[in-house]
A and B are shown apart, each in its own frame.
Chain A
Amino acid sequence: MRLVLTSDDRIGVERDGGVVDVSAAFEDIRYRTAKDRMPRVLAVFQDRRSQIEELAASGEPIQVNGLQAPVPRPPKLIACFGNYMEGTNRERQTQDMFLESPESVIGPGGTVILPNHPATIFHHEAELGLVIGRRAKDLPADERALEVLAGYTCGIDVSARGMGRMGPSRMGKSFDTFTPIGPAIVTTDEVPDPQNLRVTMKVNGELRQDYSTSDMEYPVVEVLSFITGYMTLVPGDVIICGTNHQGLGAMQDGDQLEMEIEKVGKLSVSVVDPQKREWARGIDKEMADRVRAVGQS
C-alpha cells in the first residue's frame, strides 16, 4: 500500500494511477494541523490496515492537486552518517547518526530555498527513508526490527557544506526546506528486500547519483537496532539511511531535482537561491574521491 497526504489534508491511498481518499478510517483522530496529525495517524495505521484496504478498494479516485510530505513534521528526524561502502574494501566504520531539525521537511513539488549563509556548496544526498509506525526501544538487529516500520519513503538530505565548527555539519543539513520527503509511505510488503533497491538522483535530467542499497554498510535492520539502543522511536519518526557520495553535485538556483527509489517512488523538488550563487555543474568528483579515501565528507 502507498499512503499519501494530499495538499488539502486528505489521507489517501494510491490506486490505478490515482488517489483514493481513506480519511474516513482516521475520523476519530483529533488533530490541529497536518503536522501533528500524521504521527497520530501512523500510530493506528497498522491496526487499521484492513479497514484502510477496504476503503481503498471500494472508493473512487479523487482529483489531487499535489501532495504534502507524508510526515510534514516528524517528532524526530534522524540521519545516518556515511553508510555506504562506495566501492572501497575498507572495514565497516563505527556506526553513527545525528538528529536534524524536523522543521526542515518539505513535500513533493516543494522548493528548497538556499539560505544566505556562507556555505562552500549545497549538495543533494538521495537516501532511503524509514517511517516509524510503532514505539520502539532496543530492537534486535534482525527481521523483527522491520515490524516497527510504517513503511519506506524517499528523502533528500540537502547539505550545506563548510558550516559549523567540526566535521560534517549537522546545522548545514537543518535549514528550513532542506529535507524533502515523499511522495508516499510505501508499506514493507511492497518492498520485500530493502537492501536491493536502485536509488537515482537526476538534476535537470542529468544523472548524478546512481547506486543500490545493496551497498549499504549497516543495513536497515542494523540502523533500527542501533538507534533504538540510544533512544525510543515513536510513530512518525523518520530515519534517512545515509547516502552514497559517489555522484553528489551542486544544487543551485533554478535546478529541478528528481530522485527515485525503485519500488518506493519518485520525489521531485525545485531549487531557489535568492543570492543566485553558481557552482560547477555535474558530479562533484573531488568530494567523491575524498569520501572513498577517508570515509567522510
Chain B
Amino acid sequence: MRIATFDDQRMGVVANDDTMVDITDLLQQYDPLGPEDLLPDLITNWGDLKGELEQRAAAGGGKPLSEVKLNSPVVRPTKIICLIGNYREGTDRPIQILDIFFKSPEGIVGDGDTVILPPHQADIFHHEAEIAVIVGKTAKDLSEDEAMDAIFGYTAFNDVSARGLGRKGINSFLGKSFDTFAGFGPWITTADEIPDPQQLHITVDVGGELRQDYNTSDMERPIKELMTYLSSVTTLNPGDVICCGTNHQGLGSMQHGDAVTTTVEKIGGFTLHVEDTHERAWQRGIDEEMARRVRETGSGREGSQLTGRASS
C-alpha cells in the first residue's frame, strides 16, 4: 500500500488507479495532537487499520493525483538517522566502519517544494538520492530475525548537502541540516510490497539529465544490518527514518532554477526545486572529481563556484 501526506498535512492512501483516498478521518479515533501524530498513529495501529484502508482504496472515489499537492510523507520524525557512505561504488576496498549522523527534522520538504540554498560560503551543494526506511515499531537491540519486521515501509530521500563548511578534519555534517535540505517523497510504500529492498534502482534527474543511477544491491551494509546495529545505539520509534546513504558516482550540483527528481524503483519519484538568492553557478553535469575521490579515498572533496555573487 502507498501512504501519502497531501493538501496541507492530510493523510491518504494512493489507490491502484492512482487516485488519492483521504483517510484523515479514520485517524481521528487516536486523538492526534497535530499532523505530526498521524503517521506514527497509523503505523502503531496498522494491524487494526490495514483491512479498512484496503477496502477504502478499492472502493475508489479518490482525487486524481494531479489534483492534489503532495507533502513530505514524513512529517515530524523523532529522528532522521543518515548513514555515512554506504555503497561499494565499484571498489574492492574492505568494508568501512559503520557510521552515522543525525539530520535536522526541521529541514523536511516534499514533492514540488523548494530547497533554499543559504548564503553560507559552501563549496558546492550536492543532491544525494537514497532509499529511506520508515521504522514500524519501538525498537531496541533488534535481533537479525526481528530486524526486517521492525520496518513499516520505504520512501525516497534526497539528502541535500552543502560541502566545505565547518571545522576542518572533523566533518560535522551540519551542512546537511539547513532548513529545506531533507527531501522526502512521493509517499511511503509499505514493506510488504518491497520484498527485497536490496534490489532497487535509484536515479536522480536534473532538468532532464540523468545524474545518479545505481542499485541498492551495491549497499555496503544492508538494511537488515542497519536495523540491528542502529537499534543497539538508540531506541527507534514508529515513524523514525533511517536513510541508507548514497552512491556518490553521479552526484552533481544543485543550483538556482534546477528541478531535481529523485526516483526509487517500486516507490516512485518526487521533484525538488532549487532557489538561490545569490544565483551562484557551478559546473553542470556529474561531479567526476567527487566521484573519483570517493572511489579512491572513501570521502569527497570541495567544489568550486564558477560565477554569481560571493556569499557571506
Interface residues, chain A, CB within 8 Å of chain B? 30-32, 36, 40, 73, 75-76, 81, 93-104, 115-117, 137, 163-171, 174-176, 229-232, 234, 296
Contacts and interface: CB of A to CB of B under 8 A. Distances in A.
B217 to A, nearest CB: 22
Interface in B68-105: 78-79, 81, 84, 96-105
Interface stretch (B7-15, B163-171, B251-259): B163-171
A40 B33 CA distance: 11
B234 A137 contact: no
Interface stretch (B172-180, B262-270, B272-280): B172-180
Given A81-B172, A165-B84, A229-B120, A103 B102 contact: no
A99 B102 contact: yes
B299 A166 contact: yes
Given A168-B170, A170-B102, A231-B106, 12 more contacts: A76-B106, A97-B172, A97-B174, A99-B104, A102-B78, A117-B232, A117-B233, A163-B99, A165-B99, A167-B171, A176-B234, A234-B106
A95 B166 CA distance: 7
Contacts, number: 114
Interface in B23-62: 33
B107 interface: yes
Given A165-B84, A165-B96, A76 B104 contact: yes
Contacts of A104: 234
Contacts of A296: 167, 169-170
Contact of A167 (B97, B102, B170): B170
A229 B118 contact: yes
Contacts of B102: 98-101, 170, 174
A292 B221 CA distance: 37
14 contacts: A30-B33, A40-B33, A81-B167, A93-B167, A99-B103, A101-B102, A169-B99, A170-B100, A170-B101, A170-B102, A170-B173, A171-B99, A230-B177, A231-B179
Nearest to A95: B167
B177 A99 contact: yes
Given A36-B33, A96-B172, A97-B174, A164 B99 contact: yes
Nearest to B299: A166
B16 interface: no
A234 B107 CA distance: 12
Contacts of B178: 230-231
B140 interface: yes
Interface residues of B, number: 38
B174 A96 contact: yes
Q: Is the interface of B mostly helix, strand, loop or mixed?
A: loop
B235 interface: yes
B80 to A, nearest CB: 9
B177 A231 contact: yes
A32 B33 CA distance: 8
A95 to B, nearest CB: 8
A175 to B, nearest CB: 6
Nearest to B76: A75
B235 A103 contact: yes
Given A99-B104, A100-B102, A232 B235 contact: no
Given A73-B78, A103-B235, A231 B170 contact: no
A289 B106 CA distance: 37
B33 A31 contact: yes
A139 to B, nearest CB: 14
B174 A98 contact: yes
Contacts of A176: 140, 233-235
B100 A171 contact: yes
The 8 closest A-B pairs by CB, nearest first: A167-B170, A99-B102, A165-B99, A164-B99, A96-B167, A101-B234, A96-B166, A94-B167
B97 A164 contact: yes
B255 to A, nearest CB: 19
A170 B140 CA distance: 19
Nearest to B162: A230
A175 B233 contact: yes
Nearest to A165: B99
A19 to B, nearest CB: 27
Contacts of A81: 167, 170, 172
Nearest to B36: A36
Nearest to A37: B33
Contacts of B234: 101, 103-104, 174-176
A76 B235 CA distance: 15
A94 B177 contact: no
Given A93-B167, A97-B172, A115-B233, A102 B79 contact: yes
A231 B107 contact: yes
Contacts of A99: 101-104, 174, 177
A70 to B, nearest CB: 18
B284 to A, nearest CB: 26
Contacts of A229: 118, 120
A166 B166 contact: no
Given A176-B235, A231-B106, A101 B101 contact: no
A93 B232 CA distance: 34
A137 B180 CA distance: 13
A81 B97 CA distance: 22
A176 B120 CA distance: 33
B33 A96 contact: no
Contacts of B174: 96-99, 230
A96 B172 CA distance: 7
